[in-house]
Structure 1
Amino acid sequence: QPICMLAQHLPVVELVVFLDEVNTSSCLSSIKEMLVDRNINGLPFPENIFFTAAINPHTKPNENEKDDISVHRRDYLVHELPEALEHLKCRYGSLPDSQLRDYIKRKIEMLDINDDTQKMPLDDYVQSVLCDSILSAQQFCMIHLGAYALDTTVGENSVSQREIQRCFSIIDFFWKLRYDDELNDRRENNDDDNDNAPNPVACIALSIALIYYFRLPTVADRVQYGDLKSATREQFSKVLSRTIPNFDCIIQTELERFVTHENFLIPNGVALNQAVENRI
């Protein structure tokens, strides 16, 4: 009602209404009524309201693999669109590798011009590692995630520019992260914080791990669940190690350093095993 009132008040202005996650809702009939019939509960919308929406890819289960058990869910709470909405659907696809690389470089340039002294220094080597790592991770997930879907394009929708933005945010978090022992040493020795700055490449590796690596099962997970097809962390590590040598070792070392009884209040009797470390 407020949108309709605004549209009536500004008849020369086109109002764009964006509906997100449309096919995860339980009211697709009402959405069809708005987008196709241009009314709701029989009340017509003003002509200057334009509707657009985003949907998630709908994956039909493979009937030949009903008894197969995968490590992670293959399906999400995504409903099939009503037939009346199918003809309105457009797929925009993913950026080509060359454009994706340019996009990442632009993001790096935006970071580099920031005068914040706490920002991670981005020399040519670090920029190259950051760009190549994100690009490799995106390509791996586009190829391997969603591989079970009958529609082969679903895998391309498994990652987007949103993951890239998250990488930059998390890199900044790890760059500014200081452990208690580091802070105590700095106070005792009157050291500059930059003297104890973390390794920029390790920060990049950790951000890649949180956004991409931990989405994948291990080989042991696949064996346990009888899943013979899912891409694994070991495969991902092999690809990333071309850009960040010993990628998996860096992650495991930092994981053991980060998840400790000193850093987290962990109840007695809870073992700090791989599963707990990964969850945290």
Structure 2
Amino acid sequence: ECFHRLLLHPDIGGAEIDEFMLPIEQSARLAPRATFLVLLDELNTSSTLGVLKAMIVDRTLHGRELPRNVFFVGCVNPARQEYTVHALPTSLCDLRWQYPPLPDDELELFVREKIRRLPFAQELDLVLTAGFAHMVCVCQRFFSCTVGESSTSQR
């Protein structure tokens, strides 16, 4: 399986993240031509933002270099009074996308341009990039329709 989701919350520590990532790392090393996507859901509710930042930005986990074929997508919650969220480290803020309200065709162009500007974009093939852009747009539209516009501004 190449897609993995980790639902984060304050009780998940470094050991649990390590336990979650270890089989993904092993699979990625055994299948270096496959792409592994890890969704870090509710990223800014975590008490281990430093560990998550190291994974996403530095591509390390507890000193281990992560395989180049493992990619991360993080979803963050808006800062509201309903639950506790933490400020993202600056290096993660630089990777955050805020979605303006756009028609579908412009949203697709917006997402493709965001992907093109990622530091590792040259490592992605065009089919994967187009598929990822489409998936992001479908998710964005779904959340906008079912949850509301303000809940889908950051991914």
What is the TM-score of this pair, normalised by structure 2?
A: 0.51
Contact 2:40/2:74, CA 8 A, preserved across alignment? yes
Q: 1:87 to 1:12 in 2, by over 3 A?
A: same
For the residues of structure 2 that align with 1:16 and 1:92, how far apart are their CA atoms?
21
The Cα offsets for residues 98-147 of structure 1, whole Å up to 9 and x where unpaired, read as: xxxxxxxxxxxxxxxxxxxxxxxxxxxxxxxxxxxxxxxx7xx96xxxxx
Contact 1:16/1:50, CA 8 A, preserved across alignment? yes
Q: 1:93 to 1:20 in 2, by over 3 A?
A: farther
Is 1:57–2:108 an aligned residue pair? no
RMSD between aligned residues: 2.6
Higher gyration radius (CA): 1
Is 1:20–2:41 an aligned residue pair? yes
What is the aligned length?
91
Contact 1:23/1:80, CA 8 A, preserved across alignment? yes
Question: Which residue in 2 is equivalent to 1:41?
Answer: 62
Give runs of aligned pairs for residues 91-110 of structure 1, distance below 5 A: 91-93=98-100
Question: Which residue in 2 is equivalent to 1:157?
Answer: 150
User: What amino acid sits opposite 2:73 in the alignment?
Assistant: T
Give runs of aligned pairs for residues 1-280 of structure 1, distance below 5 A: 1-59=22-80, 74-93=81-100, 156-158=149-151
1:84 Cα deviation from its structure 2 partner:
1.5
Which has the larger strand fraction? 2
**Counterpart of 1:32 in 2: which secondary structure?**
helix
What is the TM-score of this pair, normalised by structure 1?
A: 0.29
**Percent of aligned pairs with the same amino acid:** 42
Consecutive unaligned residues of structure 2, counting only runs of 5 or more, are 1-21, 104-144
**Counterpart of 2:73 in 1: which secondary structure?**
strand
Contact 1:94/1:157, CA 8 A, preserved across alignment? no
Consecutive unaligned residues of structure 1, counting only runs of 5 or more, are 60-73, 97-137, 143-155, 161-280
User: What amino acid sits opposite 2:93 in the alignment?
Assistant: E
Moved over 3 A (4+): 93-96
Which has the larger helix fraction? 1
